[in-house]
Structure 1
Amino acid sequence: MTINKYPIIIISLILLSLNLQAAENYKKFDLPLDLINYMEISLEGKTAVMTVFAGDSSQSFRMESLEDNRSYHEISYQGSVVLNNEGFMSSGAGYPFDLIDKTDVVFDNKKTRILFYQKDPESDVKFRSRKKNNISIFNDINIAGGDFIRGSVVSFWADIVINGEVNEDVIAVYGDISVGQQAVIRGDVISIDGKVDIAKGATVYGRVQASGGKKKFQFDRWTRWHNKEKDFSTIIRFYYDRVDGATPLLGVQFTDEDSLLPNVEIYSGYAFSSEEWRYYVGLEQSFWLKHPITLGGSFYRKLATQDDWLMQRNDNTVFALLATEDYRDYYEAEGGYIFGRFTPLSYFNVEIGTLVEKYTWLDAHTDLWSMFGGSKAFGSNFGSVPAAERASGIEALDGAEMASIILKSDLDNSDREARFGQSFWMGTAELEWLPDGWNDDFDFTRYFVRAGRFQSLNEYSGFYIKAGYGGSDGLLPLHRRYFLGGLETLLGYRHKEYSGQEFWLGNVEYRLTFPKTDITGLLLYNAGQISEEAGKLGDAEVKQSIGIGVSFEESLRLDLSRRLDRSDSSFQIYVRLGINF
């Protein structure tokens, strides 16, 4: 397949124009597909309209004065309670606050609408047991320092004091809001018919507004930026692997959550085994925070790898230090990357960039120390590749230069606080294209896509299904080849046992969490094919394996798996830290 650069350039320009249009005409809140209307309070002067939703129908109550319908702990309408500390009431049915997932406030001329959304009951049963908001009527709310609220904080006829962290909005209806200097609020701060007091040093990512007669004001982004401490922090990192050995890194980073100034990251360090200096300077600037367009770039000299999807660098450092195990292959890359990224939704982005790098081959230091490795030695760098192919690949890579255009996209609508708490989608796709005339050393196009779906069955069980495909046009060099076998690919096989130019992979897990514990049992099935030549995938043997596993708090996982293509194969044991898509 021959790829013409002009369609890609045209598509990129179209995407950019759509991005700009979307940024100018954004909405405050994009309703996800799995959320439905739950409750609404509309306020205009002293008049209040309260609405509850049930399927495609709704019921509203119009009251000329909420104060006239208020008793000590509830609001009544025509002799019936419609709002109390448990939630809304309508025709004898209850609408508890615990089912609220998202909140939103809309100002329309003189009218204020407070919208409450719930998860679609058919989308995830497990959500009903997971409280994330703090909502109260008549009782003051105090979020102490160190406390974290995953959702919103909402009060009716009560005050709110925030000294901790709130992940979404803070809303007071007929109450005041006080935000302490150490507080962090990642949504809006809005008081209806009350006032807002924000201490110097507090961090508020959204808008700040108080309304009610003459009591109305709004902080702009520059005011809030000047009122909070600038987020400078020190970078202290340490990595350990079979090529660079011990590598301490020191640096600084500046982060401005309001995106008025660029985010900057600078660090450097020395790799003691390879005797090379490592450095990184990166900068990025975002515009239009609701649907960000981000421009950025970096230049560096680093120990590079294509194996982050197999194991993250921090986890790999632990295995290398403790057990003389290094699951990644490496090469030195010196160069830079510039990019533009559009994030239309909080869980989805598209990025296009240009990569320019010069490569240096580095051998592994197989005799490096580890805490419990004994006399065990590290394997060679790219040691799973047959000797002749490895030698020619090293020769082609060492000293080579490469320039490419990269188009990639990421999707992740999971809850990172509780990854398997509800159903979710994850995915990543990447196209790397080397335009004609840009390179003397390489000529290829590489495309890679992975997708994952966790489907919750009930509060304790579900299926986690992952699929991946990688292909190419032209001959992939050593540092861009695909590998299957071992962690994250085909359990039961040796790590990176197979390599090639094209592959597909599928993984299925049945997950069962034991009640009142953070222990999850796993049943596993893996299958895949890989071919040495692109276009020959159908001729390759299908590799399969089965296994069982157990996960502890999603931070430590043990798997026992066996390949199915050999009758004499034995079970292999795998240890993983955390969750790696």
Structure 2
Amino acid sequence: MFGNRRGEYKKFPGVCEFEKKAEFPALPGESAGVRLLQPFPANHRKWNWFPPPFNRGFLMRTRAILTVLLLALIVTGSPLNAQSKKKDQTRTTKHEELGERIGTMVEEVIAKIGKGLSLTREEEDLFSVDSLKRRSRRGIKVDSDEKSVTYEGTVRINEDEIIRSNVIVKGGDLMIYGKVEGDVLVVGGDLYMKDGARVTGNAKVINGEIFEEDGSAIDGYIDRSSTRASSYREEEDRFRRSSFRLNAPWVSETTNLDNFIFRYNRVEGIFLGAGSEKRYYWDGWRDYSVYGSIGWGFKSHRWRGNLGLSRQFLVDDGHLLELGVEGHSLTDTKDHWIISQGENTAAAFLIHEDYRDYFGREGYGINAGYAIQEEDMTIQVKAEFLSDRYSSLDNRTEWSMFGGDKVFRPNPLINDGKMTSILTSAGLSTMEKTLRGTEGWSIYSTGEFAKRRFGGEFSFNQYVLDVRRYQPLGQYDNINIRLRAGTSEGVVPTQKIFEIGGLSTLHAFPFKSEIGNRMILMNAEYIINGDFLGELDFWPSWLMSGFNFILLSDAGFVREVSPLVSWTDGFEDIRWTDFKHNIGVGLSNRSGSMKFAFVWRTDRADNAKFIFRIARPF
């Protein structure tokens, strides 16, 4: 443990710790530094405190003084034994034994002091001016061999550094900005992987956490463990559930709300509001969950919002049964799966493109559901009774910061009227974020049954299935695949019809150019990290590891069949030529949250279409 004039200290494994630290003015005959506020614990091992300045002369003088004092203790004991020898032989024997014990203790202490204070060439450099400047980034190296290097205290590996061995850090944090060609082990601290950092081997943290930024990479496995493994797993489960969220991609925008709501679109203009998200109390902390939002559209001149109440019953740890009710007046859309509200707001505000179509929806819903959220899996089944009145909305604004002479697409008319339906849904997600991208399954299906006998003006059944797989293939590449299919029976209103083409569907085709009541859509991305040629000496790994190359392919099929046939009909005699298809190449950042690509239709010779996204397509 080292003290300094600011009252700071550095912690090492096995070293006595301060319960508190404070800065005191120097007392008479005392140097400024850190004063121990609490006594040593009975089981402390050893500690070193070197008041400033840190230099070789001070260490050598300290060693010499301690050595002289200990030798003096031996010398003063020896004459006493010699003078008393003639008087009392028994007493002499006891003194000799005491002298021998003291001598042995002195030798051990001197050996420890010599080991602690002797300066090797490496340790001598530790106290040089240049080393003091580096002190803020690197702890003390206590051991090294051909395969690994061990440090005590917080260690920082800079952007321009490459460590070609395993790295072990004890009692401190490891912050990596550069590259470690080997494994990493952190004991009693945290591992921070900064943007551009890379570990070519495995990463293991004991009694700590791993924090990963976009653009960082660990090629091997990641292991977080504790000296009390069962306790660690319990704490991890409790943390996941205490987030109060349903960790699934199908969560509705009407429940997953921000505290401050800002959106911009062609039917409302700027919309400002406040919201409170729906919380899932996985630990049974509360029985009721209240959520809702309220806001004002500055061009539509209309208040919009919703208010919901859910009664939750804790069936088991991480298992919830819920009953709920909601009232709403919304500017709604069926295009949530195509583009998120945030990305669409950015497009409308900046480049004069609104990729959503809107309608008004006012009414209420009553629902019942069961949700399970485990460490590696989320499941939800739900049934809702919905009674809503739908209405068409018109464009209200043409303003955009950029975009030149472009104008917004007209918002399409819908079939106005009252719709009363039962909406069922079931979802399973094993998705998790890793340094190589998202991994796992997402399966979600819905079935909506609207009947006039329920009190509405529409009668139809509609079914949608969405299956996604995110699969790492190796150290540098992975593949993402989505299959989305839909079918219906009865006369489906315009606001429920299937439409594909353009963004997130068939990228090279006109936006929503394929319309019908039968749909099959397949999207695939093959992603390879830019550092896949990192073994080449001339390859700029420091740059390319932060980028991904993307090969993408889309295929879609839409068909219109009679509303009188069953929902299972209409998929007969499908040929590959019935599908619209495009291919493309692109480049993205490490996480895939921002990318651009060029895509081409395969059914005819055509110019490439450029796409730019600030969110993943699926």
Q: Could you tell me the TM-score, scaled by structure 1's length?
A: 0.59
Counterpart for residue 134 of structure 1: 205
For residue 475 of structure 2, the aligned residue among 459, 464, 468 is 459
- 1:439/1:273 CA distance change after superposition, 3 Å: same
- How far apart, in 2, do the equivalents of 1:252 and 1:475 lie? 37
Offset, 1:579: 2.3
Shift of 1:575: 1.5
Q: Which residue of 1 aligns with 2:320?
A: 292
Alignment partner of 1:433 out of 441, 449, 462: 449
2:427 alignment partner, one of 386, 401, 410: 410
Whether 1:526 and 2:554 are equivalent positions in the alignment is yes
SS in 2 for 1:570: coil
CA distance in 1, matches of 2:392, 2:455: 19
In structure 2, what residue type is equivalent to 1:413? Answer: T
Query: Structure 1: where are the runs of 5+ without partners?
Result: 1-84, 87-95, 100-125, 158-167, 173-184, 190-202, 207-232, 383-389
Q: State percent identity of aligned pairs.
A: 26
Distance in 2, Cα, partners of 1:451 & 1:308: 16
* 1:543 alignment partner, one of 567, 580, 591: 580
Larger strand share, 1 or 2? 1
Q: Displacement, 1:171? A: 7.2
What corresponds to 2:520 in structure 1? Answer: 504
Partner Cα distance (2:448, 2:473) in 1 = 38
Change (3 A) 1:171 1:292: closer
Match of 2:408 in 1: 378
CA contact (8 A) 2:505 2:554 kept: yes
1:458 counterpart SS class: coil
Deviation at 1:316? Answer: 0.5
**SS of equivalent to 1:555:** coil
**Match of residue 155 from structure 1:** 227
1:170 to 202, 219, 232: 232
Query: Is structure 2 residue 350 aligned with structure 1 residue 322?
Result: yes
Find the counterpart in structure 2 of residue 348 from structure 1. Answer: 379
Write the letter of the residue equivalent to 1:514: G
Q: Which amino acid in structure 1 is aligned with residue 406 of structure 2?
A: K
Answer yes or no: is 1:557 the counterpart of 2:573. Answer: no
Number of the residue aligned with 1:271: 297
Q: 1:483 and 1:266, CA in 2 relative to 1: closer, same or farther beyond 3 A?
A: same
Per-residue deviation at 1:244? 1.2
- Distance in structure 1 (CA, Å) of the matches to 2:610 and 2:499: 19
Taking the TM superposition and a 5 Å limit, the aligned residue runs for 1:27-66 are none
Deviations 1:466-512 (A, max 9, x none): 11110000121110010110111111101111111111011122110
Hey, what's the Cα distance between the residues in 1 that align with 2:461 and 2:209? 56
Q: Is the 8 A contact 1:482 1:499 kept in 2?
A: yes
Task: Give how far 1:294 is off.
Answer: 2.6
Kindly provide the CA deviation profile for residues 189-242 of structure 1, in whole angstroms up to 9, marking residues without a partner as x.
9xxxxxxxxxxxxx9949xxxxxxxxxxxxxxxxxxxxxxxxxx9821111001
Is the Cα–Cα contact under 8 Å of residues 333 and 357 in structure 2 kept in the other structure?
Answer: yes
- Give the secondary-structure state (helix, strand or coil) at the position aligned to 1:292: strand
- Check conservation: 1:253, 1:263, Cα contact below 8 A: no
In 2, Cα distance between the equivalents of 1:563 and 1:284? 47
Work out whether 1:575 is the aligned partner of 2:575: no
Contact kept? 2:450, 2:456, Cα under 8 Å: no
Summarize the alignment of residues 97-116 of structure 1 with structure 2, pairs less than 5 Å apart.
none
- Assess, with a 3 A threshold, how the Cα gap between structure 1 residues 459 and 151 changes in structure 2: closer, same or farther: closer
Distance verdict in 2 for CA 1:374–1:98, change over 3 Å: same
Query: Number of residues paired by the alignment?
Result: 378
Deviation string 1:393-442 (CA, Å, 9 cap, x unpaired) is: x3xx22x0011111112222121365x54641112111011245114421
CA distance in 2, matches of 1:169, 1:315: 41
Residue 245 (structure 1) aligned with residue 269 (structure 2): yes
Distance 2:202 2:445 in 1: 32
* Partner Cα separation in structure 2 for residue 445 and residue 562 of structure 1: 36
**In the alignment, which residue of structure 1 is the partner of 2:362?**
334
Assess if the C-alpha contact under 8 Å between 1:280 and 1:300 holds in 2: yes
Instruction: Give 2:306's aligned residue.
Output: 280
Q: Contact 1:467–1:506 at 8 Å: present in 2 too?
A: yes
Is 1:187 aligned with 2:237? yes
| Rg (Cα) greater in structure | 2
What CA distance in whole angstroms lies between the structure 2 residues aligned with 1:256 and 1:489?
A: 32
Higher mean C-alpha displacement, 351-360 vs 244-253: 244-253
SS at match of 2:327: strand
Distance 1:414 1:127 in 2: 23
Q: Is the 8 A contact 2:184 2:201 kept in 1?
A: no
* 1:580 Cα offset (Å): 4.2
1:485 aligned onto 2:501: yes
Deviation at 1:127, TM superposition (A): 12
The C-alpha deviation readout for 1:307-362, integer Å capped at 9, x for no partner, is 00000111110111000111111100001222222224532221111111111111
- Aligned partners of 2:528, 2:209: CA distance in 1, in Å? 37
Is 1:446 the counterpart of 2:517? The answer is no
**Distance in 1 separating the partners of 2:328 and 2:433:** 30
Contact conserved, 2:450 with 2:461, CA < 8 A, in 1?
yes
> Does the CA contact (< 8 Å) of 2:381 and 2:426 recur in 1?
yes
Alignment partners' CA distance in 2, 1:130 and 1:436: 61
Give the distance between the partners of 1:254 and 1:402, measured in 2 at CA: 25
Q: Work out the CA distance in 1 between the residues paired with 2:276 and 2:556.
A: 43
Note the C-alpha offset of 1:375: 2.4
Structure 1 residue 255, shift from structure 2 partner = 4.8
The structural deviation recorded for 1:290 is 2.3
Structure 2: gaps (5+ residues): 1-167, 170-182, 187-197, 214-221, 244-256, 532-540, 563-568
**Residues 571 and 186 of structure 1, relative CA distance in 2, 3 Å threshold:** same
Shift of 1:522: 0.9
Q: Against the structure 1 CA distance between its residues 435 and 427, is the aligned structure 2 distance closer, same or farther, given a 3 Å change threshold? A: same
SS in 2 for 1:450: strand
Deviation at 1:151, TM superposition (A): 7.8
Deviations 1:30-76 (A, max 9, x none): xxxxxxxxxxxxxxxxxxxxxxxxxxxxxxxxxxxxxxxxxxxxxxx
SS at match of 2:337: coil
Cα separation, 2, equivalents of 1:407 and 1:98: 48
**Cα distance in 2 for residues equivalent to 1:266 and 1:440:** 26
Amino acid at match of 1:563: R
Partners of 1:130 and 1:381 in 2: how far apart?
52
Identify the structure with the greater helix proportion.
Answer: 2
1-structure distance, mates of 2:262, 2:612 = 22
